[in-house]
Amino acid sequence: MRVSRSLTIKQMAMVAAVVLVFVFIFCTVLLFHLVQQNRYNTATQLESIARSVREPLSSAILKGDIPEAEAILASIKPAGVVSRADVVLPNQFQALRKSFIPERPVPVMVTRLFELPVQISLGVYSLERPANPQPIAYLVLQADSFRMYKFVMSTLSTLVTIYLLLSLILTVAISWCINRLILHPLRNIARELNAIPAQELVGHQLALPRLHQDDEIGMLVRSYNLNQQLLQRHYEEQNENAMRFPVSDCRTKPC
């Protein structure tokens, strides 16, 4: 007898499907974690830059010196992070704007999915420090969205490679373990049963696999051997009874 579909192929297909799903979930969670970590680092850099110019900017705003305020904004070192700096009054009026990096297009899906651009708003207070301080303006710094987009795509390409390699490695490793632990003993048992001569069917005994004395495969072999022993005993009893009490032919001889 031959099998039409090997159990090895079936279990490998199932293992591959499960591994692909779980590794995909893992890589997706890792992608969002890495992007969120990069967002946090970018926001920290923006806040550090904003704090470095907050006091001179506050002085310029209080004096109403717009050229000095513009010069302070222009002195910000973007370091490839800051794309735009705005000074917004408490009534949401945009007083000043300074662009450092030309805005480059980013796919809408990426901006929505990863909440781009990253920006912070830091209150600018009077230097006199009143009892109940209220911000006289807000310094809004916005990060370069295209820089974040490049980071997302670079991370995504790396994770896709990791996803494929990890899925392949896990599929091969798990399938190898299943083959060694389950399929090979079952295949050996099936081949042995398939090769039994007809005259040796009754009382045939299977060898107990070395690593399966205490599991289901061992229980299967022991149950088969016990059934064969009972069948052989019953067969021997029938032969013994037939030899001890032969059945006479009453059709040709008077009983």
End-to-end CA distance of the chain: 49
The predicted-structure confidence for 63-72, as pLDDT tens digits, reads as follows 888 888 888 8
Q: Give this prediction's pTM.
A: 0.76
Name the residue ranges covered by the structural domains of the chain.
7-163, 198-246
Residues 6+ apart with CB under 8 A from 145: 83, 103, 104, 106, 111, 116, 117, 118
3-state DSSP helix/strand/coil percent for the chain, to nearest 5? 60, 10, 30
- pLDDT at position 103 is 85
Cβ partners under 8 Å of residue 129, min gap 6:
none
**Residue 3 neighbours by CB under 8 Å, 6+ apart:** none
- Pair 29, 162: CB distance under 8 Å: no
Location of structure tokens 């067969």: 235
Rounded Cα–Cα distance for residues 82 and 66 (Å): 21
Residues of the chain below pLDDT 50: 251-253, 255
Provide the token pair at 92.
């949401």
CATH class of the 7-163 domain in this structure: alpha beta
The pLDDT tens digits of the residues spanning 203-218 come to 788 888 887 888 888 8
